[in-house]
Amino acid sequence: MQALATAAEWFIGLFKAGGETFVGLVTGIIPLLVILMTFDNALITLIGPEKIDKVGEAAGREGLIYYPIRYMILPFLSVFFLTNPMAYTMGRFLPEKYKPAFYDSAVSYVHPPLGIFPHVNPGEYFVWGGIATGVEQAGYRVSDLAIRYLLIGLVVILIRGIVTERITAIMSKRSAASEQAAAS
Amino acid sequence: MKGINKLLERIGRGVGKVVGAMYQAGRDSVDQVIKNVLPFMAFISLIIGIILKTGVGDWIAKTLSPLAGSLLGLVVLSIIIAIPVLSPLLGPGAVIASIIGTLLGTQFATKAIPAQYALPALFAINPQVGCDFIPVGLALGEAEPETVEIGVPAVLFSRFVTGPLAVVLAYFASIGLYTK
């Protein structure tokens, strides 16, 4: 009987620890999250998300200076204003050859802003929140990490965009060549 | 008199628009928190509770922490997650990234992993982001079927290169972060 009670206590203890963690997360994260998301959402409605269409139209042009527009500014604005998953619809303004690279770039930016703009992807908050909570518990200031994640994220998506654009170009050339070989 | 009326009407309309937008924004964010954030918090709390109480945490601290507490270990982690066959399987809902992130978070909390590895770790757990969603994402961008056919492998191969690269970049970008 004694052993059974001890086992039961241990079993319940698992969930008690979970419950304490839950309360910590709810009181520590939710209040800020709700208010911040309310502000972001209101801002988006008042500015009007359709305003970024013009950036989309400009981003499809050839030339070196359009790389940062296509793979940094456009993904940032799309993710900020349209959020995950509607951000990817901005690809419709680009020529076909840039679409995979733009998707790669935009989808890679749905987590880096989470520390400062949680409205972009609240359902996947813990990709950022797991590590951030730990760092906070260790006694560090999380905003330092949040801002670096946001900025380095921009550099990473630019590199991803450029690399994926190259790979797409090589692959489409190869598939065109093999089609020709098959035809002749 | 007419002028004043027009002015009042314009102010009323402007205030109504702003208040309406803010109220709707509040409703949206509360909806999001209840539907998406709270359930995930419950799930994460359950996992953390079990890890803390069963001693799995100590095991993780001994095996995973040395891996996650070095640049090489994080690069290896990102390469494994970015393998083109694995990455689409690990993508859905960012669940895997959240779990690994939370596991690492418990180690950052106890300082088993030094906090200056937090930034490269954020990139190391996430090279598979969106790899499960490429055809849908491209379709949302109104891509042709031929583009999707090429785009899917192009993104997957690209991740294999840019995933580890992002970790290295983040490592050097953390110089001066949490050092003291």
Instruction: Please tell me the predicted confidence (pLDDT) of residue B180.
Output: 60
Respond yes or no on whether the N-terminal peptide bond of residue A85 is cis (omega within 30° of 0): yes
pLDDT at B154 over 90: yes
Mean pLDDT of A151-161: 93
What Rg, from alpha-carbon coordinates, does chain B have? 23
Classify burial at B8, counting beta carbons within 10 Å of its beta carbon; exposed 0-12, middle 13-18, buried 19 or more: exposed
Report which of A68, A50, A51, A46 is spatially closest to residue A59, judged by C-alpha positions.
A68
Instruction: Please tell me the predicted confidence (pLDDT) of residue A184.
Output: 66
Winning range, highest mean pLDDT, from A46-50, A102-106, B104-108: A102-106
Listed by number, the residues of chain B in 123-162 with a beta carbon closer than 8 Å to a beta carbon of chain A are: 123, 125-126, 129-130, 133-134, 136-138, 140-144, 146-147, 149-155, 157-159, 161-162
Q: Using 50, 70 and 90 to split pLDDT, how confident is the model at B83?
A: confident
Q: Using 50, 70 and 90 to split pLDDT, how confident is the model at B120?
A: very high
**Contact yes or no for B37 and A85 at CB 8 A:** no
Q: What percent of chain A has pLDDT over 70?
A: 99
Instruction: Please tell me the predicted confidence (pLDDT) of residue A2.
Output: 87
* Residue B125 or residue B91, greater confidence: B125
Q: What percent of chain B has pLDDT over 90?
A: 20
Q: Which of these ranges, B69-83, B87-101, B116-130, B158-172, has the smallest mean pLDDT?
A: B87-101
B8 touching chain A per CB within 8 A? no
Per the rule left: phi > 0, alpha: psi between -120 and 50, beta: everything else, A118 is alpha
Q: Which of these ranges, A99-108, B51-60, B140-149, has the smallest mean pLDDT?
A: B51-60
pLDDT at B73 over 80: yes
Mutating which of B28, B133, B146, B155 best tests the A interface, going by the most A Cβ atoms within 10 A?
B155
Per-chain mean pLDDT for chain B:
86
Q: Using 50, 70 and 90 to split pLDDT, how confident is the model at A91?
A: confident
